[in-house]
Structures are given as structure tokens and as C-alpha cells.
Amino acid sequence: MVVVEKFPSVGGNTVRAGGPMNAPDPAWQNTFAANPGEANTLQELHDIDEATIDPEFIDDFRALKVEIEEYLKDSTYLFDSKLLYRIQTYLGGKRKDLKGNEIHGNYQLISVLTERALESVRWLENIGVEFVRDEVTMPVGALWRRGHKPKVPMGVAFISVLKDFVLKNGGIILTDTQVKELLITDGIVTGVKGIGRNGQTITVNGKAVILTTGGFGANTKMLQQYNTYWSEIDDDIATSNTPAATGDGILLGQSVGADLVGMGFSQMMPVSDPVTGALFSGLQVPPANFIMVNTKGKRFVDEYGSRDQLSQAAIDNGGLFYLIADENIKETAYNTSQEKIDAQVEAGTLFRADTLEELAEQINIDPAVLVETITNYNSYVDAGHDPEFDKGAFDLKVEKAPFYATPRKPAVHHTMGGLKIDTKAHVINENGQTIKGLFAAGEVAGGLHAGNRLGGNSLTDIFTFGRIATDTAIAEYLG
């Protein structure tokens, strides 16, 4: 196997990922207590009008309703199932574009993802990735606590292990090499041609090609060209993506006749750095601990919502907002260390104070307003109900000094559209036929996440369909 990497080091957007990946594991999850609000979230899901459910999902939805009814008889523990994961992925991606055209994920692709997600976690464990077992986390916009968090922060936990795995098993990694052309032999995609770090032509001949090049979140012109979801995408919009995410794999697929699906839908990450768009800064904590306040010090949204809902709410409030945390909530952050926190406070990109009043002054907010907002929020945690925004679930209150404020602003994070694939990761052409020898997995492929991707699903996607693509290619061309 030869891995051809555009940048000087491997990892792409995965290195930048928050870390947790979704996979229902009820035997593990059921050992944790339910959070206030989670039972209400399930009841609301149960009560959705069946007339709004697309036909291919109706049987699964009805089966899920039975599971929920049984669970609500004793809702003291954390519930999960493959059906809940499937329906949340489907509903979480169901959106309408600016003209009212609806899109939802492909049933077969969603079924594969949700059936084999835990298998992907186990595979990663087998090759050396270590996961935290004393906590079930939830990335922003995931809709449910089913996140498996690596012990090593961020996506480095995966890439370092995967790189060693490839090299130890005889793989070759070519970095600083940009693929420019797919090579076809007797109607089969068998290799690639590209440009190496010194400008030399690099040709790699093989039996098949798997595209895992990511999306086009760092290509503003391409985002604007295809956009059918956001009212406007500014020329200077920031992105959380690696600069390498420019849609190369999509263009390569098109060059051999690949069909595209869902290209008009891109996702904003609401909790991005307001200057760089990155996710490395500040305190990234589970949404049950999100307290989002605008520049006036007031909450403005159900912080447990989907990424596009949170992003739109932030945009409607001027874009910039703050995540408020205390010492206890800080301990739930999965993207940082005390050393990094201290450095950011020193640099003025993260704010810390011994009282809420002092914190408010640092971020130019009326202290009385912020104190009132936090006092109200803490009372909602105690009551298990948010009368203002009906937050989906709660965890900790804001009560232990020091207190923190992380400035955030939405930035482009994920592009849901891409090459059309089937459940075996074959790339499909415009006539509905497979392109022999060509496979795709991850963000370069479309059809799975539809109009909005759930937080934590990208990692599950790449590891599930990446393995499927490899297994299929080996079986069909190396078997």
C-alpha cells in the first residue's frame, strides 16, 4: 500500500479533530447515570409525527419508539442503541436548501455507519488507540452522549497510531506529493500521477485507488460555487480545516465521470476561534456544559442543538459569543492542558477571573447581566429544565472559581457533499454504475450526512468506510 499525502505530514483534518467519535455501546453507556433533560429529549423524539419520517426510515423509527417507551419506565441510566444513533443521524442531517428542497442521508449508508461504528472503535483499540472508559462524552452538535474519547487529546491519538500501523505493515507514505491525475488501465483506475516536493513527476501504479482527501472547507470559491444552504458565504470566512482541504479528491473523481451528491451543504463549527477558525484554542467541553452568551452577556440558544442551528443563532447575534465555564467545567475539556490554558490567558485569547463580575469586565459585558444569566442557568441545572431555551441536557453548574470565558465565532468546518458512493465505498458515475478500481471514504464522499453532520460522526465515518473501502479493494483487486 502506498499513501500519497499532499502536505509535509500526514493527518489532514483528523489531526485537528476534537477527538471523540460516536458509537453506541449500551453495555458501557448503561453504567453511567442519565443527565437531567436526556429523558425529555427522548420523549420529544418519540413524539415526532410519523408523517414527517421518510418511508425508508419508518420501520426503524417505530422500533426505536418501542425502545424509548421501555427505557422511560426507568430512565435513571444513560440509554443508547443502534436505532437511536441511526434515527438521530438521519434527522440530524435532514435539511432544506434556500429554495425549500429537502435532503436527507442515504438509508443504506447510514445503516452501515450505525451498525459498524462500535466495530471501528474496537479495531482502533486493537491497533493501539486507547480510549477513556470512565466518561461518556458528547462533541458539540452530536445530539447524544455516545462519544468515545481517546486518552491522547485531539486527533493526534488516531494519526500517530495509524501512521505506525501503516509503516509496520510494509506501507509506504509519500508526503509533499499532490496527486493531479488518476491513471486508468483497461477501464480500471489503477494508479495516480502527481507532483513531488521538488517539482518532479511522481507516478504510483497499483491495482486500485482509494480517495480519502477530505472535503473543500478551505476552498472558499468552491464553497460559494456550490452553496445552496447559507444565505451568504463571505470571501474572508475562516475555516477550522487544514489548508489542504481544497476539494482535490472531488475534482479527481469528476475527471473520470464520478457523480456528486449534496454539494450545496456545508457546515459551520459554531465554537471556532474567532481569529483563526481553529478548534485548538480555548476550552472545548461537552455541550451539556456549554453556556453560550452573546456580547451582552445573555444566553441566546439551546446549547445542545445541532451545529448549523448553533451557528445560525450565533450569526444572528453578531457572530462573536463566549463560552462560560468554571473550574469544574474546565476539567471536562478534551482539547487542552493546564499549560496551554495558562499560556492563552497570558496571551489574552482566553479569559480567567476569580469572580463572575471580574470576568464580565474583562470581556466588556455588564457584570450584573452575566451574573443574572449564570444564576438563572444554575437554577435550570437544579430543576433539570430550561424554561428559556429548553436545553436538551445539563451536567454541571457554574459555581467554582476561577471562571473562564472562551471567545468563539462560527467558521467553515465540514462539507457534507462529495463523490457518490455505495455501501462498499465504490465511487458511482453519472450513469449509476461503479467506476472500476475507484473507491472513496470520509469527507470526500457524499450522501451520508446530507444537510448537516452530527458532531463525532466524521471520525466514525472515516474509520468505518475507510476500512470498508480497503476491504473491498483487496477482495476485488488483490484477492
Instruction: For residue 301, give Cα distances in angstroms to 138, 307, 311.
Output: 18, 12, 10
Exactly one of 86, 116, 307, 352 is catalytic; which is it?
307
Task: State yes or no: cis peptide before 402, omega within 30 of 0.
Answer: yes
Rounded CA separation 105/94 (Å): 7
Distance CA 341, CA 240 (A): 20
Using a CB cutoff of 8 Å and minimum separation of 24, what contacts does 54-57 make? 54/90, 54/94, 54/104, 56/107, 57/86, 57/87, 57/90, 57/107
Helical spans, DSSP H, in 295-434: 307-316, 327-330, 338-347, 356-362, 367-383
Encoded amino acid at 8, one letter: P
Strands 209-211 vs 434-440: parallel, antiparallel or unpaired: parallel
Residues whose CB falls within 8 Å of the CB of residue 111, separated by 6 or more in sequence, listed in order? 86
Residue 307 annotated in active site:
yes
- Nearest-CA neighbor of 4 among 209, 151, 141, 187? 209
List the Cα angle 313/245/315 in 5-degree steps.
Answer: 10
Helix axes 457-473, 107-127, angle to 10 degrees: 90
- The residue assigned the cell 444566553 is 299
Give, in order, the Cα–Cα distances in Å from 410 to each of 21, 301, 320, 377.
21, 14, 8, 23
The catalytic residues are 307
